[in-house]
Amino acid sequence: MPQGTFLRLLVFFLGPALLVYSVFSIYPLLATILNSLYSHQRDGSYLWNGLGNFQTLLFDPTWSVPFWNALKNNFIFFLIHMCVQNPVGLLLAALLSLPRLRFRATYRTLIFMPTMLSVVVIGFAWQLILSPLWGIAKMFLQTFGLGFLFAPWLGLESSALITVSLISVWQFVGIPMILIYTALLAIPDELVDAATVDGLNQFQAFVWVKLPLIWPTIGLVSILTFVNNFNAFDLVYAMKGALAGPNFATDIMGTLFYRTFFGNQLQLGDPSMGSAVATMMLLIILIGVMAYLFLVQRRIQRYSF
């Protein structure tokens, strides 16, 4: 094929994807990083500021207090997902992949259902259920004689973040479940049969034979959880608004980013500081992905078949 024709072919096939992707994905990411090095002036112009925005963000109390608060909350948000969502997902996947289980597809389809719904809908539905006005949650506890446990969990500083995290766990547990479930199905039956012949019961076979084989998937689930959690915004915004109340108790990086960039009742929007927050988020996510690629991925290579 002549050189010119081949080049035209490549441009035709690759051009559109590269153009849209570069303009609307890569360029904005790079421009955001660059933006974070300037400071936005009141008249709308930009001045070179080096790492000044980051210094402000990390050390100036008016900025650093909300920043560290959001980062801390985001870590709690992530830890709750790691400690509740992924183990529950693993348990459900393990049960679903048991041989000769009836109604397997029905369970799988129904348990995955909440994951399909919009976070706005989920957030609001739970807000209604937990609302003292409607009293469903209270009524529920009362049937078990636990009525005294009820509190407006979403409205209390001490419990709002945990409540929001658990609602997010409830919605997204389907993802680890499905990923681990397929990994379990891919394990050859002979391996488990051999273990059972050697005298292991179903539970032991799971712990000693299957679990080591699905570490790569659990690693993948963990990094997906990390990236999604540090990029989360919708649920907190839908349930608690941009101010992430009460008193910023549910503020995570995504809502901080939104407030910094757009402004709110308390402050004016600032594109430069917004870019700085976004760049910090990018850094956190990149550190997580790198740690996964270099530590987890490399180690587990040995186990894969």
Please report how close the Cβ of residue 7 comes to other proteins at its closest, in angstroms: 9
In the list 47, 51, 65, 136, the residue contacting other proteins (rule: CB under 8 A) is 136
In the list 231, 243, 246, 263, the residue contacting other proteins (rule: CB under 8 A) is 231
Please report how close the Cβ of residue 224 comes to other proteins at its closest, in angstroms: 8
User: What number of other Cβ atoms are within 10 A of residue 50's Cβ?
Assistant: 10
User: What number of other Cβ atoms are within 10 A of residue 105's Cβ?
Assistant: 10
Identity of the residue, 147 or 158, whose beta carbon is nearer to other proteins in the bound complex: 147
Identity of the residue, 47 or 117, whose beta carbon is nearer to other proteins in the bound complex: 117
Q: Which of residues 139-168 bind other proteins (CB under 8 A)?
A: 139
Please report how close the Cβ of residue 47 comes to other proteins at its closest, in angstroms: 17
Q: Total number of residues binding other proteins (CB under 8 A)?
A: 82
Q: Which of residues 2-31 bind other proteins (CB under 8 A)?
A: 6, 9-10, 12-14, 16-18, 20-21, 23-29, 31
Please report how close the Cβ of residue 67 comes to other proteins at its closest, in angstroms: 16
Residue 117 interacts with other proteins (CB under 8 A): yes or no: yes
With a CB cutoff of 8 Å and minimum separation 6, the contacts of 110 are: none
In the list 286, 287, 291, 295, the residue contacting other proteins (rule: CB under 8 A) is 286
Q: What does the H/E/C string look like for 75-138? A: HHHHHHHHHHHHHHHHHHHHHHCCCCCCCHHHHHHHHHHHHHCCHHHHHHHHHHHHCCCCCHHH
Residue 35 interacts with other proteins (CB under 8 A): yes or no: yes
CA distance between the termini of the chain: 41
In the list 82, 84, 200, 227, the residue contacting other proteins (rule: CB under 8 A) is 227
Which range touches other proteins (CB under 8 A), out of 50-58, 63-71, 144-152, 278-286? 278-286
Please report how close the Cβ of residue 107 comes to other proteins at its closest, in angstroms: 5
In the list 38, 54, 63, 126, the residue contacting other proteins (rule: CB under 8 A) is 126
Task: Please work out, in degrees rounded to the nearest 5, the angle formed at the alpha carbon of residue 182 by the alpha carbons of 181 and 185.
Answer: 90
Sign of the CA dihedral with 30 first, then 224, 113, and 149 last: negative
In the list 47, 79, 83, 125, the residue contacting other proteins (rule: CB under 8 A) is 125
